Amino acid sequence: MARRISIAVTLIALLLFPAAAGAVFTLELNQTAMDFGDMDSGASGSYRDDIPHQGLEVLCTTDQGNPWWLRIRNEQPLTHISNPSATIPNTNLKWYGVSTSDPNNTSLVTLREDFTVEKTVYTAPAVETQTTITMKFELTVPPVIQSGAYTSNIVFTLTE
Least confident of 13-27, 37-51, 57-71: 13-27
Whole-number pLDDT of residue 1: 43
Q: Does position 85 have pLDDT exceeding 60, yes or no?
A: yes
Contact 139, 76 (CB under 8 A): no
Percent of the chain with pLDDT over 90: 43
What residues make up the domain containing 147? 4-159
Decide if pLDDT at 79 tops 60.
yes
Whether the per-residue pLDDT at 40 is higher than 60: the answer is yes
3-class state of residue 88 by DSSP: strand
pLDDT at residue 19, as a whole number = 55
Dihedral angle of Cα 93, 99, 102, 105, to the nearest 10 degrees? 60
Is pLDDT larger for residue 16 or for residue 82? 82
The DSSP result for 113-145, as a single string, is EESSS-EEEEEE-TT--EEEEEEEEEEE--SS-
Distances (CA, A) of 102 to 49, 81, 124, 147: 25, 39, 10, 42
Task: State how many domains the chain has.
Answer: 1
CATH number at residue 19: 2.60.40
Predicted model pTM: 0.88
How do residues 107-135 score in pLDDT, each as one tens digit? 999 999 999 999 999 999 989 999 999 99
